[in-house]
Structure 1
């Protein structure tokens, strides 16, 4: 069986040398690149061919790819590169790599069509000016074949190693047994759903209760599916670092159960956490880890693949020994890893590295998305962006003369925005404002291209990135997003506005991500109702749904509804004393550790103040605004085995999900809210859009997101089959059928107590 390698991968592996240099950036987005290629092709003749699939073999290698364009009349093969900025500033090793790709494609074309020679052209298309810069050379087929074979020979040893690794990996995975003596209740069903999803090429939405071991079940099953269904990679994506650690622990458990398993596990971390020199720019003249990066990368890569687990601390050590950047070392290793663990954004955001690599290398991938109820809000953030008038004014004050005039034009554009907003006609980014931003972006681009290395102004650079980000969102603006305009006094007292493109429905952006995967399984304890997530995330119509049986019995959890207290906004002041009394009464019956959840910090502080005043003998500690990692850990450290007291927390915050307080570290929770999002202009607009799109505006905007937070918070109480506890739901609305349907089926709910206050809301 030959080793299949993409032209780009072959060339980057064998022809990339010298410094890591990110000064010739930012590169266009994938969407901008496609548009640039299309525009170049449209300028060619009617016989011009695009996206020419080519393939060639050399010994054990099968090299494949798609050449950008071929003009048969001129016998010219074009390698098209979209870019921003002055080509004179392009690092030499970038151009060297591009020529290598063109030459490999040149040989594959000569071989396929029997050509004796071909003209090769590097076409650099500036997406800002829409101008082309062309470099052309004519090469004989013999010379191109020699170049191709030289590249292949250099890659052969690595390919043989990779083929051997894949064969050994798949053989070990085929015989891999579950690392525990038996499956827990529901765990086997979840594992089976993941495997079947890969087998049938379908996505899976799996609601699975906390405590069954979702991570090990999904990782094990996806890896077991790799050999029979020819998966190249498995991606485990999380919202938080705790989720990453669970996945790494699961992989370690598999290794302990099968010590001979040659599984390459890679952890991806954010650039700001991995960077060793945050005060330096990413190029060889500034950062020692960028200088000669590609010369030292092969040795660092080889050592990394020999370690048991390529987690962040391990890679940091390897990178230090070889003098390379740990962040970009991890990026390279993602090509050779079997299981990649990282944040959602690595696959789902607009410039997602793993998604781009999947398409470029034609990988067959299986994707696992942990705590998937978080993906809707996270994806909205990925596809939203804002511009601040005050920030642009501040950078304009110190900007070079060539940049000030375009920034002044942008500043004048705010007046048009303000006027349209006042008239209620600001429905989309005005063309005049977008054009002014483009001109400012071009001016900033030219400035940075001419600036001496290391002299860039951080504020000006941030303004540049903000403008480019906003422009990208403006180009794809549609009914899935909204334009928001706010205004307040700036630092000098002058009115300063902020304009924001706020994504409301991430589905259009996420659909291509799901399409790129062989299968994606999204799992969480709170994914009801499934149609909400299918609609909002743009999952395929044939996505399978599974509601995994809970391993817990109703006898483990005493769920009570207290309908005599209203937690509606208008009633919060009067509710403080009754809620404090309710908590104290329960504590008196069963002293122990409790969590009390509220809809906001203001509400939390109101009730906690009342509680401390009325019941000073009961220990109480509060979640505070903006807690750092140490403060959050100190809050959790109060929940000791055999301890007693009440922790006051905000629903949907740091302590509402993702914490594991087993046994009597937590014996109960009070939830004094339905968790409904605030009624504000953004949410009301969201409700209108979702009503128009799905006919479920209120439920999709308020009810479903709110109840997810409630169930997540309640899920902190029962973590194992030995745990017992109580959950008290405070509000009469918990008794409504539409609400009860969204609560876990295994809960046996007592109440509600009759209400004396019959207000509605």
Structure 2
């Protein structure tokens, strides 16, 4: 739903409550999709701009005036940016960058629709006969105001308002009916299988109770019990009673969307009213784009031309289908000749369940989070494989600039932009001129460089509006990277981030200072993520590896009142034989010496019990050496090896080797695409070998993370190295036992697995045996 559904006081008829912005976006957008007058200022810049405009007004000026009004069964509400009682003037404030004259006309049309809607609500609320209405455009760079003002009679504003509402009435009636049908179906929803798997029921109960109490929940549950449907089902069941508008199912990687979509199909098939639940798969813009060689405006892309004129029909057809996965969405978009990506963006407003990547809710510009805030939705969030959120969130709130990118951008830049980029280059050179080490951290942001970067972004913004360029050009890439850097500079705080500079080589080695990198690096994303949890009615983070709990509470910013559920494994110790190969050291200095013994270990187990195995190493370099040694010593045993940057088809081909009756060794990287989220039940996988503890590489960045974690939480080594490493080990090992009938063997290769602090991080149901050589019976 795009609004809240209430009951009228003293009346049983439903009321559809919609925000002013949402109403205008539905009824007043027209013409082309046009992204030339973007990107807009950041949220913080916009807030600061609004505050600056208000500071220029008189003492009686009223800011953020709450307004609402009704038309038939519609309740329209919002907050007017400002009202001056002395002048009887209502103001709608818009911040921007660049040249205002280049703003597309349909943008201005939408802004007027919003302003005039607020003006009607103001007249209605205060009994005004007429009012002055002003669009106030503020240039963020120059703090220059442009004011467009008109005076309107209240009667005329009422007619405009009613016409706008009338254009939405039929749609709102359809949406009210959909909501009622959806909630009735979910209230009667039955679990779509004859029974719960062992471990599924306690997980489902924990998720349901968290939704009922409006809590954030962390849930650790073993691989193979069906966590996807075990979390989706109870949250859907809770949806009607808790008044949830949306459910967001968020995944760390693209393959994670498929199990969620399949589970939702299964649940939908079990409903008494098939098709009552609208499910939308979200996809990245670069993967959805049909014309990657064209810019996003009507003069370049045929799917942008007249986009808003064709959108209503496309939207209506799309919502007739219950599940809009990528192929279905693309087919609808093709029939109506609209952009599939931006059709999907619009459908976020009307779906019940959205399945997409973490970034759709947790990123700095996350659309699902923004929409939930704008429309005051009550949302439930499910975070799958939540152990990945720490590294992903660090990336979301990190910004890097490479000197080579600046040089490449300058070569493409027009003459008027080169001087601005040259000023950035000079400030950059001055910053690293005295750098003594290849990597250094700094206490303060380089204000002179930031100021030069802000000026350059302003010049490039003007140029981009006048001369739109392809997104794959160096100039535009640098422009967007610089914007992100400036946004993170606004949010910079040494409590959660660090500013560092890196040279390609240490100065003593003669490294060129021109090949440097400037980075605002997030180390503790907790303050950013905490806002996202607070915005949701309930949020469940679940994974097979979410321990120790305090590590995730601290680094991910989970609220103090968050609940915790630890689901015991349904698997028995005799299902998985676990051996520690303590006679092999995989420490970096012992890597070469470890290759032959490991190859022998893998081969002996394979010959004792032929079948499919996975052998994990900590890096592609180590993996390649091990695979080469294995091929050299055992050329008769089938082998397939993970390569860096495999595409979706190549990953699929790798997994196709694991057949029910096949045999061979798959070599893969620990923590990579085949170490988690991969389901190979039965005899498709009967064993795994894990070399090393998976500890992150010792380098200056990880050492800085250790220092900061120690300062913040007192557990620097554990938080920076031990916990992330053992998490990867347990995830990889979890590929072996996927069901109640599975049997397999696991070898943990390194003597450090004998240590008590390591053993206590391994699953409790494992029965671990130590070995100095391979048992003659082949272990399994």
TM tier relative to shorter chain = over 0.9
Q: Distance in 2 between matches of 1:425 and 1:14?
A: 51
How far did 1:627 drift?
A: 2.5
Deviations 1:577-629 (A, max 9, x none): 22122212222221211111111122222222322222223222222223233
How far did 1:191 drift?
A: 1.0
Map of 1:377 onto structure 2: 391
Q: Indicate conservation of the 8 Å contact 1:52/1:67, yes or no.
A: yes
How far did 1:473 drift?
A: 1.1
Q: Distance in 2 between matches of 1:632 and 1:298?
A: 38
Q: Indicate conservation of the 8 Å contact 1:195/1:225, yes or no.
A: yes
Deviations 1:316-339 (A, max 9, x none): 111111111111111111101001
* TM-score, with structure 1 as normaliser: 0.96
How far did 1:714 drift?
A: 0.1
Map of 1:306 onto structure 2: 320
Q: Distance in 2 between matches of 1:202 and 1:457?
A: 43
How far did 1:753 drift?
A: 4.5
Q: Indicate conservation of the 8 Å contact 1:732/1:752, yes or no.
A: no
Q: Does 1:477 align with 2:496?
A: no
SS state at 1:2 partner: strand
Map of 1:253 onto structure 2: 266
Q: Distance in 1 between matches of 2:361 and 2:441?
A: 36
Q: Distance in 2 between matches of 1:26 and 1:724?
A: 54
Q: Indicate conservation of the 8 Å contact 2:186/2:271, yes or no.
A: no
Q: Distance in 2 between matches of 1:316 and 1:504?
A: 38
How far did 1:575 drift?
A: 1.4
2:407 aligns with one of 393, 399, 402: 393
Q: Does 1:185 align with 2:198?
A: yes
Q: Distance in 2 between matches of 1:455 and 1:344?
A: 27
Q: Distance in 1 between matches of 2:194 and 2:449?
A: 64
Which range is displaced more, 391-400 or 269-278?
A: 391-400
Q: Distance in 1 between matches of 2:113 and 2:436?
A: 56
Map of 1:430 onto structure 2: 446
SS state at 1:134 partner: strand
Map of 1:468 onto structure 2: 483
Give the number of aligned pairs.
Answer: 752
Q: Indicate conservation of the 8 Å contact 1:29/1:350, yes or no.
A: no
2:517 aligns with one of 486, 498, 506: 498
* TM-score, with structure 2 as normaliser: 0.94
Map of 1:413 onto structure 2: 427
Deviations 1:76-100 (A, max 9, x none): 1111111111110101111111111
Q: Distance in 1 between matches of 2:111 and 2:469?
A: 26
Which range is displaced more, 642-651 or 521-530?
A: 642-651
Map of 1:693 onto structure 2: 712
How far did 1:406 drift?
A: 1.0
How far did 1:494 drift?
A: 7.9
How far did 1:159 drift?
A: 0.7
Q: Indicate conservation of the 8 Å contact 2:504/2:516, yes or no.
A: yes
Map of 1:636 onto structure 2: 655
Q: Which structure 2 segments of 5+ residues have no match?
A: 1-13, 506-510, 775-780
Deviations 1:471-524 (A, max 9, x none): 1111111121122222238xx988322212221111111111111100110111
Map of 1:543 onto structure 2: 562
Q: Distance in 2 between matches of 1:431 and 1:545?
A: 43
Q: Which structure 1 segments of 5+ residues have no match?
A: 756-761
How far did 1:45 drift?
A: 2.3
Q: Indicate conservation of the 8 Å contact 1:557/1:727, yes or no.
A: yes
Change (3 A) 1:507 1:594: same
Q: Distance in 2 between matches of 1:443 and 1:256?
A: 55
Map of 2:11 onto structure 1: none
Q: Indicate conservation of the 8 Å contact 2:580/2:768, yes or no.
A: yes
How far did 1:308 drift?
A: 2.6
Q: Indicate conservation of the 8 Å contact 1:565/1:731, yes or no.
A: yes
Q: Does 1:76 align with 2:89?
A: yes
SS state at 1:366 partner: strand
Aligned ranges 1:466-615 → 2 under 5 Å: 466-479=481-494, 480-488=496-504, 495-615=514-634
Q: Indicate conservation of the 8 Å contact 1:185/1:549, yes or no.
A: no
Change (3 A) 1:324 1:580: same
Q: Does 1:717 align with 2:736?
A: yes
How far did 1:340 drift?
A: 0.7
Q: Does 1:293 align with 2:312?
A: no
Map of 2:354 onto structure 1: 340
How far did 1:454 drift?
A: 6.2
Q: Indicate conservation of the 8 Å contact 2:74/2:169, yes or no.
A: yes
Aligned ranges 1:37-56 → 2 under 5 Å: 37-56=50-69
Which range is displaced more, 231-240 or 392-401?
A: 392-401
